[in-house]
């Protein structure tokens, strides 16, 4: 495929979007006409997963096509080494104009990782400010109960400021690419921070749900003796364990979340309009996904950092006007690891074998072109709040969650989609459990990972402490704007920063 024949690629990524509110995934709760239209024209991957239920590690594994443990992406403050190629490097080498507008959560001095330019700074710090410390007891997560008690309508908050900037500059990039003299196709990643908590939205999006009955979680808070140890730790981290959140507060937060999803949909509409108006719609592949899901109150849990379906499943929709994807729905399990080889295949006409190493994913073009089949999906959790690395395998409709720090969990996702019945102690599933455990501990060396994680944490904490003396280095991407410091840079309390918004009624 020559450069003149290569399609443009618009890659739209949200943050913390669950399929549990999307009509395109059988859950017609959020009002999302533009996502629905994209799904109607494109291929919907019904069983798509992230590979790490946390922002930065998920994005690093997605960008490299490698599991997070292979690239040292242990948590939200792990450096993304400049020596590891990302899909932006590969696409740039294939002749693409590469641009990032929005969040990518890169940590380290390299804030581009193959993108020729970024239109915005990041919303989170690029240094080691969020480094966990497994040597301490207890952990306070990056949120608190205010995300529920203070949820609802706002006039403005920092996340809206950010995503408005992301879309404005992405639209400009689409027009700039259309009139660029070099004629290169574009690879544009537009990455939003919505619908990430706090659960706040504009009045216009809140009002969309005046006549909508937003259901409460299918599975409410579980009694302590029916819950698993990791979930109990997550509840304690966020202060939800004994919060006794009333149903009307849960409903309020879920409505505001849906409002944020509708806000994302509006922004997608602006991008699609720019493609059409710039004359590039007929030669642009559009990919829509999220870095991970959102528990949204299921089992009393919110946010992510669990392996339950609401946090692990992500929307993945690809619309290709020139037929690389034929449309329809694909039931084959896939993951974000499959995106890098897919981009390479899009750029070369389905024949791309130029990765410098064996990748952990495969082209979605190949997968979508076959009859639905089962393939394993792997995921990891290596960050704070755990006793030892936790691993997940989804195979043949079953999910194993295993760790040397917690009892095993085994779920039949076909017959128990809400993951209420742990089959790990069921004699009928003993053979399956043994086989999946053997697969997990053959794939991952838990003890070796522990040593690497602890060493990484000690190194980063020392660097962070040293940088606190004298003039600290500036790793955050600088676009030249004077007000970039309004985004979170590790100074002060994250929760206070996130919840500093203009209320609808000042009284």
Residues taking part in catalysis: 55, 105
User: How many Å apart are CA 145 and CA 235, to the nearest integer?
Assistant: 11
Alpha helices, H only, 111-193: 146-149, 158-178
Q: Taking the CB of residue 191, how many other CB atoms lie within 10 A of it?
A: 23
Read off the DSSP letter of residue 298. Answer: G
Distances in whole angstroms, Cα of residue 107 to Cα of each of 80, 153, 453, 485: 6, 32, 16, 17
Q: Counting beta carbons within 10 angstroms of the beta carbon of residue 437, is it exposed (0 to 12), middle (13 to 18) or buried (19 or more)?
A: middle
Q: Taking the CB of residue 362, how many other CB atoms lie within 10 A of it?
A: 17
Tell me the backbone φ, ψ of residue 300, rounded to 5 degrees.
80, 0
Task: State whether residue 289 is helix, strand or coil.
Answer: strand
- Give CA angle at 334 (331, 335), nearest 5°: 145
| Sign, Cα dihedral of 280, 282, 284, 286 | positive
Tell which residue, 108, 120, 270, 96, has the closest CA to residue 186: 96
Alpha helices, H only, 227-246: 229-237
């Amino acid at each position: 495929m020559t450069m003149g024949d290569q399609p443009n690629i618009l890659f739209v990524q949200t943050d913390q979007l669950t399929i549990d509110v999307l009509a395109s995934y059988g859950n017609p709760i959020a009002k999302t006409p533009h996502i629905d239209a994209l799904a109607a024209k494109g291929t919907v991957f019904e069983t798509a997963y992230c590979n790490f239920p946390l922002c930065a590690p998920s994005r690093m594994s997605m960008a490299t096509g490698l599991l997070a443990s292979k690239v040292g992406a242990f948590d939200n403050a792990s450096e993304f080494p400049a020596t590891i190629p990302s899909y932006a490097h590969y696409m740039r080498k294939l002749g693409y104009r590469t641009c990032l507008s929005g969040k990518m959560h890169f940590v380290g001095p390299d804030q581009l990782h193959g993108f020729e330019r970024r239109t915005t700074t990041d919303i989170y710090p690029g240094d080691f400010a969020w480094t966990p410390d497994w040597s301490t007891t207890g952990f306070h997560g990056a949120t608190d109960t205010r995300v529920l008690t203070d949820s609802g309508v706002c006039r403005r908050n920092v996340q809206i400021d950010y995503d408005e900037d992301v879309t404005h500059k992405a639209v400009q990039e689409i027009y700039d690419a259309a009139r660029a003299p070099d004629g290169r196709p574009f690879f544009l990643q537009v990455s939003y921070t919505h619908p990430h908590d706090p659960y706040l939205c504009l009045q216009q999006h809140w009002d969309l749900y005046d006549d909508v009955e937003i259901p409460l979680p299918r599975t409410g808070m579980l009694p302590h003796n029916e819950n698993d140890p990791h979930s109990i730790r997550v509840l304690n981290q966020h202060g939800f364990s004994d919060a006794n959140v009333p149903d009307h507060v849960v409903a309020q937060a879920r409505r505001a979340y849906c409002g944020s999803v509708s806000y994302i949909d509006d922004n997608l509409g602006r991008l699609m309009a720019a493609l059409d108006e710039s004359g590039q719609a007929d030669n642009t592949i559009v990919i829509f996904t999220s870095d991970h899901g959102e528990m949204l109150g299921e089992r009393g849990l919110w946010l992510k950092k669990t392996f339950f379906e609401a946090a692990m499943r992500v929307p993945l929709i690809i619309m290709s006007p020139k037929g690389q994807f034929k449309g329809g729905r694909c039931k084959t399990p896939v993951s974000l690891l499959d995106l890098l080889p897919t981009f390479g295949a899009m750029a070369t006409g389905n024949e791309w074998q130029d990765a410098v190493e064996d990748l952990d994913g495969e082209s979605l073009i190949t997968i979508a072109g076959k009859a639905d089949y089962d393939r394993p999906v792997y995921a990891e959790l290596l960050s704070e709040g755990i006793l030892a690395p936790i691993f997940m395998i989804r195979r043949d409709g079953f999910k194993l969650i295993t760790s040397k720090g917690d009892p095993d969990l085994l779920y039949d996702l076909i017959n128990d989609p809400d993951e209420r019945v742990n089959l790990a102690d069921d004699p009928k599933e003993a053979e399956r459990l043994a086989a999946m455990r053997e697969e997990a501990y053959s794939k991952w060396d838990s003890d070796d990972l522990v040593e690497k994680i602890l060493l990484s944490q000690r190194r980063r904490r020392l660097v962070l402490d040293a940088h606190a003396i004298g003039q600290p280095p500036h790793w955050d991407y600088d676009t030249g704007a004077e007000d970039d410091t309004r985004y979170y840079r590790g100074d002060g309390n994250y929760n206070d920063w996130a919840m500093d918004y203009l209320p609808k009624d000042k009284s």
